[in-house]
A and B are shown apart, each in its own frame.
Chain A
Amino acid sequence: QKEVEQDPGPLSVPEGAIVSLNCTYSNSAFQYFMWYRQYSRKGPELLMYTYSSGNKEDGRFTAQVDKSSKYISLFIRDSQPSDSATYLCAMSPNAGGTSYGKLTFGQGTILTVHP
């Protein structure tokens, strides 16, 4: 079983829809939770990060972490065609220390927002 599970999709939605992307994990040591966005044939870029449990909002994007359920989510409101990309969740026990900031990634979800 993978430490981090993410539904690979693909997910196709109409412009303006609310998108929900999710990951589950098994390692209770994970404390830092991130979402990376990767456009086609590009490197991933950090989109959102959350420490421990709770919500974080940035414009149209909201990240949620439920450590009790080992479940994280990314919501995209009023989705736009420019949001079409692969979204990768990533997790780490801590930012430094003995984990050396290593990230464990989910498989990535391919999202297409059509006009």
Chain B
Amino acid sequence: NAGVTQTPKFRVLKTGQSMTLLCAQDMNHEYMYWYRQDPGMGLRLIHYSVGEGTTAKGEVPDGYNVSRLKKQNFLLGLESAAPSQTSVYFCATREGITYEQYFGPGTRLTVT
């Protein structure tokens, strides 16, 4: 069992470029979440999904889009990257009947 995996692990983008972060899980969890972590800010929710084909906005959704076409994958897209999106991005999953969220290893993104 790989649990929650994130691709890529690191990425450097130039302002205005686009990219997609992939989160994959093999635990058959219904709920998936995308967070960003910045120094002194803790984890902030970007978007989340309560099941295949669903997405919803979190606390800081601007500049990001998401899709969940398959239950096991949750994609986070940056259409036009900005330096303010330099962060560490974490994906998390939850079974649905419990409170615990399981986190991936993170993607470190730098936008120059």
CB closest residue in chain A, given B54: A100
Which of B12-20, B69-77, B93-101 touches A?
A: B93-101
B22 within 8 Å of A by Cβ? no
> B99's contact among A43, A101, A106, A107, by CB below 8 Å, is which?
A101
Q: Please provide the chain A residues from 9 to 31 with a CB less than 8 Å away from any CB of chain B in the complex.
A: none
Chain B CB within 10 A, most for which of A49, A96, A107, A108:
A96
Inter-chain contact A8/B48, CB cutoff 8 Å: no
**Interface range for A:** 20 to 34
Number of A-B contacts (CB under 8 A): 57
Q: Please name all residues of chain A whose beta carbon is closer than 8 Å to the beta carbon of B45 when the two chains form the complex.
A: 102-103
- Contact in complex: A101, B41 (CB < 8 Å): no
The smallest C-beta distance from A110 to any residue of chain B, in angstroms, reads 10
B42 touches A106 (CB 8 A): yes
Choose one: A92, A96, A100; the contact of B97 (CB below 8 Å): A96
Measured as residues with beta carbon below 8 angstroms from the partner, the interface class of chain B is 20 to 34
Q: Measured between alpha carbons, how far is A34 from B100 in the docked complex, in Å? A: 9
Given A8-B40, A44-B90, A88-B43 in contact, is the A103-B97 Cβ separation under 8 Å? no
A93 to chain B, nearest CB (A): 11
Q: How far is the CA of A6 from the CA of B100 in the complex (A)?
A: 20
> Which residues of chain A are within 8 angstroms of B33 by Cβ–Cβ distance?
102
Q: State whether A43 touches B105 (Cβ < 8 A).
A: yes
Select the residue from A6, A95, A100 with max chain B CB neighbours within 10 A: A100
- In the complex, chain B residues 48-86 whose Cβ is within 8 Å of any chain A Cβ: 48, 50, 56, 58
Could you list some 7 contacts between A and B, CB below 8 A?
A43-B92, A44-B43, A96-B97, A101-B94, A102-B33, A103-B101, A105-B42
Q: Which 7 A-B pairs have the closest CB atoms?
A: A43-B103, A105-B42, A95-B99, A105-B43, A107-B42, A44-B103, A46-B100
Interface residue ranges, B against A (CB under 8 Å): 4, 31, 33, 40-45, 48, 50, 56, 58, 90, 92, 94, 96-101, 103-106
